[in-house]
């Protein structure tokens, strides 16, 4: 596959269909999964449990009673139907962060983009340690970095489809040595390609801060770094403001999830959508313009409308009217959905 040069990419964005003028991206969801396998590897064979349905919907969507079957969405046809709903509601670009360990399907996403007209920007790199390929334990920082550079400049996972940003790079609490090596490699790949970097932090309130210190020590650029899953990670204003002061872009990406029962971390009070907007309001009022993006991070089939969930159109259909009722200006909404994503997705 031909290798794009830094000069060919600078000032442009890269979707699954190729390089584009960033002006075409429009209204953008910065963190979704369209085709994925989030089953922990030991659960990928054997009994897959119940299919998501009406009778088990509450347990499936809250993860209080999930099944492996609910964590696996391999169908491009299902994704096409779901993305078409988002496009009809006003979504123009979806950032798809299914990466190494959770079964990325670049050619499937190309079909989804062709069928729906939605721009799809893919991530690259590797997710949290439990999902990583066994051979990754023996790989060096330079090896991971070279792989990510090639995924941006040449192609992803043996295809000609290229990545448009790096991540979601998986970090946990406690943060493992393998995950640190992958993030260190991602920083090298970011410097070589000019791509933005998006990070899945561990579930502890100051873990994102730990990640930002790691990045600062290695000369990373916080303004081209996105900290995902703020909604399930940071509960108090001091921690939120301290993180915002690093200059990182904060991502509230669990819109639609409204359960206070969060089995992955019982210590957090997961906000509902109004609570998310209150937190975003505080950050904007403190002057952090251009540091907020949003999404749904759909990764259970029961989150999708076909299985009774809110789906990828929820932000455009339901949250934007709520933002207007809560006093967000059109300029603020445009900054969150259009301008900040466009800046991030434009190669430096
Ligand atoms: Zn994700």
Residue pLDDT, tens place only, 258-305: 988 888 888 888 899 999 999 999 999 999 999 999 999 999 999 999
Mean pLDDT of 211-237: 97
Looking at residue 263, its pLDDT comes to: 81
Alpha carbons within 13 A on the beta-carbon side of 112: 34
pLDDT at residue 222 above 80?
A: yes
Q: How far is the CA of 229 from the centre of ligand 1 (A)?
A: 8
Check: CB of residue 34 under 8 Å from CB of residue 120.
yes
pLDDT at residue 63 above 90?
A: no
Mean pLDDT of 156-185: 97
Please, what is the Cα angle at 179 between 177 and 181, to 5 degrees? 70
Give dist(CA 201, CA 216) in Å, integer: 16
Q: How far is the CA of 254 from the centre of ligand 1 (A)?
A: 9
Looking at residue 328, its pLDDT comes to: 98
Mean pLDDT of 28-41: 97
Q: How far is the CA of 309 from the centre of ligand 1 (A)?
A: 17
Q: How far is the CA of 95 from the centre of ligand 1 (A)?
A: 10
Helix (H, G, I), strand (E, B) or coil at 2: coil
| Torsion (CA) 120, 39, 255, 348 in degrees, nearest 10 | -40
Looking at residue 274, its pLDDT comes to: 97
Helices and strands per DSSP (H, E), number in the chain: 13, 12
Is 10 a member of any domain? no
Is 298 a member of any domain? yes
Range of the domain at 98: 20-345
Going by C-alpha positions, the residue among 77, 176, 168 that lies closest to residue 126 is: 168
Going by C-alpha positions, the residue among 190, 225, 169 that lies closest to residue 343 is: 225
Is 152 a member of any domain? yes
Q: How far is the CA of 97 from the centre of ligand 1 (A)?
A: 6
Is 8 a member of any domain? no
Tokens of 128: 């949290």
Check: CB of residue 189 under 8 Å from CB of residue 145.
yes
Check: CB of residue 104 under 8 Å from CB of residue 132.
no
Q: How far is the CA of 33 from the centre of ligand 1 (A)?
A: 6
Looking at residue 112, its pLDDT comes to: 98
Check: CB of residue 42 under 8 Å from CB of residue 62.
no
Looking at residue 184, its pLDDT comes to: 98
Is 226 a member of any domain? yes
Looking at residue 234, its pLDDT comes to: 95
- Domain of residue 183, CATH code: 3.20.20.140
Alpha carbons within 13 A on the beta-carbon side of 344: 36
Is 271 a member of any domain? yes
Q: How far is the CA of 172 from the centre of ligand 1 (A)?
A: 13
Bridge pairing between strands 36-37 and 72-73? antiparallel
Model confidence over 291-342: pLDDT tens digits? 999 999 999 999 999 999 999 999 999 999 999 999 999 999 999 999 999 9
Give dist(CA 257, CA 272) in Å, integer: 7
Report CA-CA distances (Å) from 198 to 78, 222, 345.
26, 10, 11
Q: How far is the CA of 232 from the centre of ligand 1 (A)?
A: 12
Check: CB of residue 95 under 8 Å from CB of residue 168.
no
Q: How far is the CA of 297 from the centre of ligand 1 (A)?
A: 5
Is 13 a member of any domain? no
Model confidence over 235-254: pLDDT tens digits? 999 999 999 999 999 999 99
Going by C-alpha positions, the residue among 140, 135, 188 that lies closest to residue 166 is: 188
Mean pLDDT of 104-116: 98
Q: What are the DSSP calls for 165-215, one per residue?
A: SEEEEE--SSPPHHHHHHHHHHHHHHHHH---EEEE--SSTTHHHHHHHHH
Give dist(CA 303, CA 116) in Å, integer: 20
Q: Indicate the helix (H) or strand (E) that contains 113.
A: helix 106-116
pLDDT at residue 169 above 90?
A: yes
User: How many domains does the chain contain in total?
Assistant: 1
Per-residue confidence band for 72, with pLDDT thresholds at 50, 70 and 90: very high
Tokens of 81: 């139907």
pLDDT at residue 1 above 80?
A: no
Model confidence over 188-220: pLDDT tens digits? 999 999 999 999 999 999 999 999 999 999 999
Bridge pairing between strands 292-294 and 249-252? parallel
Kindly list the protein residues that place their beta carbon closer than 5 angstroms to ligand 1, a single-atom ion: 97, 297
Is 285 a member of any domain? yes
């Amino acid at each position: 596959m031909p290798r794009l040069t830094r000069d060919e990419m600078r000032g442009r964005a890269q979707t699954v269909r190729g390089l584009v003028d960033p002006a075409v991206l429009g209204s953008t969801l910065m963190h979704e999964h369209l085709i994925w396998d989030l089953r922990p590897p030991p659960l990928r064979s054997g009994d897959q449990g119940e299919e998501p349905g009406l009778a088990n919907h509450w347990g499936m969507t809250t993860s209080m009673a999930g099944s492996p079957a609910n964590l696996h969405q391999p169908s491009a046809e299902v994704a096409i139907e779901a993305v078409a709903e988002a496009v009809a509601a006003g979504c123009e670009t979806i950032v798809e962060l299914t990466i190494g360990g959770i079964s990325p399907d670049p050619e499937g996403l190309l079909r989804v983009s062709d069928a729906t007209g939605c721009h799809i920007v893919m991530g690259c790199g590797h997710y949290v340690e439990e999902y990583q390929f066994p051979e990754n334990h023996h790989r060096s920082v330079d090896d991971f970095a070279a792989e990510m550079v090639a995924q941006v400049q040449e192609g992803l996972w043996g295809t000609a489809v290229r990545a448009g940003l790096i991540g979601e790079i998986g970090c946990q609490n406690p943060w493992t040595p393998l995950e640190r090596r992958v993030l260190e490699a991602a920083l090298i790949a970011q410097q070589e390609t000019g791509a933005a970097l998006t990070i899945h932090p561990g579930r502890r309130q100051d873990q994102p801060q730990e990640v930002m210190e790691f990045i600062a020590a290695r000369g990373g650029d916080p303004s081209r770094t996105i900290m995902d899953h703020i909604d399930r990670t940071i509960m108090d204003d001091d921690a939120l403001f301290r993180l915002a002061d690093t200059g990182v872009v904060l991502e509230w990406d669990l819109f639609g999830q409204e359960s206070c029962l969060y089995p992955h971390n019982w210590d957090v009070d997961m906000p509902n959508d109004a609570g998310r907007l209150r937190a975003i309001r505080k950050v904007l009022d403190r002057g952090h313009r251009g540091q907020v993006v949003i999404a749904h991070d759909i990764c259970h089939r029961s989150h999708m409308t076909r299985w009774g969930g809110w789906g990828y159109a929820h932000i455009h259909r339901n949250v934007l009217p709520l933002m207007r009722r809560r006093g967000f200006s059109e300029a603020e909404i445009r900054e969150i959905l259009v301008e900040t994503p466009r800046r991030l997705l434009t190669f430096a």
